[in-house]
Amino acid sequence: MKDAIKIPGHSGSRVIVEIGESGEARVIKCSQSPRLINQSKKQINFFNTNAHSCIHTPKIFDANFNKEKNQYCLKMEYAHGIDIVSFFCEASVSEVDHFVNTLTSYFKKNIELSSSYVTANNEIIKKIKDVKIKLLQKKFKICADRGLSYINRNLAQGKMRLPRGICHGDLTYSNMVYNPHTKRICFFDFLDTYFESPVQDMIKIKQDTDFFWTKQLLIGKRQFDEKRYDIVNENVKTRIDEFFKKYDFFTSTYKVLQILNLLRIIVYSNDCKKVNYLLECIDRIIDE
């Protein structure tokens, strides 16, 4: 090994970039959570079956459990490109168009490839019970009661039928980069979810387009052209919203699933400012 560089992340895993003697880069990601192996299987499957010409995911070379260090480790290809915040701040109109078209094509194809539409109420109820327990442990449940009540009321009113199929699982701007040379988007940090469905990715992308999640994580930590970012993001949001409106399963379940998504983020947050922001986002969804 020639060099190793630690890079920041939000998943709780330790991530470094290893530079070999010949100059090639590899990413090593380690965690004590066995979920990392499940996530690697999902990424490997996406790599092997990828039906999206403008989307790439890093090839995983090795995935194992290190008994000596008591942790799971992945070694994978380095994803060349620029983060989406930087991309928005410098992209041309045609590049933004290509970015949006690539995402909507990804959603459309995954929905078409879904095996069936099934009632997801049981999975949602099970996840809500899990979230409630964790919110109680962190003493956040009282603050989150409005969101929990909204979900329960809507679940009681009818069945939530969703397509079961392929999804990334955590498709936010933070988990993708854009390569201006190949014109491809690279997805990484796949996540196993309580219900595998393209709707999960539709929910997660709106976490950024509607609620500026990745931007919130960077404010105060890095300089970027916020005004230009907001203009480009609004363009992306408008076009993605127009596309999502075509799908009844999305429009009829969005509020419940997005509130659940935001509550799940609260569970893993120790920052009061972030928690309050997420609660404000939940109030916005309910009041719309």
Tens-digit pLDDT profile for residues 76-101: 999 999 999 999 999 999 999 999 99
Q: Which residue, among 125, 205, 200, 204, has the nearest Cα to 163 in the 3D structure?
A: 200
* Residue 135 to residue 144: CA distance in whole angstroms: 8
Comparison of pLDDT for 228 and 18, the residue scoring more: 228
- The CATH number given to whatever domain includes residue 269 is 3.90.1200.10
List C-alpha distances in Å: 136 to 140, 169, 209: 6, 25, 30
List C-alpha distances in Å: 107 to 11, 84, 204, 248: 24, 18, 12, 14
Residues 155, 234, single domain; the answer is yes
Give the list of residues 6+ apart from residue 15 with CB closer than 8 angstroms, or none. 6, 7, 8, 9, 27, 28, 29, 30
Per-residue pLDDT, averaged over 54-77, amounts to 90
Give the list of residues 6+ apart from residue 184 with CB closer than 8 angstroms, or none. 54, 55, 56, 102, 178
Residues 154, 263, single domain; the answer is yes
Residues 181, 212, single domain; the answer is yes
Domain final residue pick, 24, 51, 77: 77
* Residue 199 to residue 79: CA distance in whole angstroms: 25
pLDDT tens sequence across 11-43: 567 888 888 777 788 899 999 888 898 899 999
pLDDT tens sequence across 166-207: 999 999 999 999 999 999 999 999 999 999 999 999 999 999
Q: What is the per-residue pLDDT for 231?
A: 97
Domain final residue pick, 42, 59, 77: 77
pLDDT tens sequence across 252-263: 999 999 999 999
Confidence category of residue 114, pLDDT binned at 50, 70, 90: very high
Q: What total of structural domains would you count in the chain?
A: 2
pTM of the model: 0.92
Q: What is the per-residue pLDDT for 12?
A: 62
Residues 12, 100, single domain; the answer is no
Residues 14, 157, single domain; the answer is no
How is residue 86 written in tokens?
Answer: 């930087």
Q: What is the per-residue pLDDT for 5?
A: 41
Residues 143, 192, single domain; the answer is yes
Residues 261, 175, single domain; the answer is yes
Q: What is the per-residue pLDDT for 11?
A: 55
66: β partners: 71
- The CATH number given to whatever domain includes residue 59 is 3.30.200.20
On the question of pLDDT at 145 being above 60, the answer is: yes
For residue 32, give its domain range.
3-77
Comparison of pLDDT for 15 and 110, the residue scoring more: 110
Within its chain, how far is the Cα of 94 from the centroid?
A: 25
Residues 245, 127, single domain; the answer is yes
Residues 45, 102, single domain; the answer is no
* Residue 134 to residue 129: CA distance in whole angstroms: 9
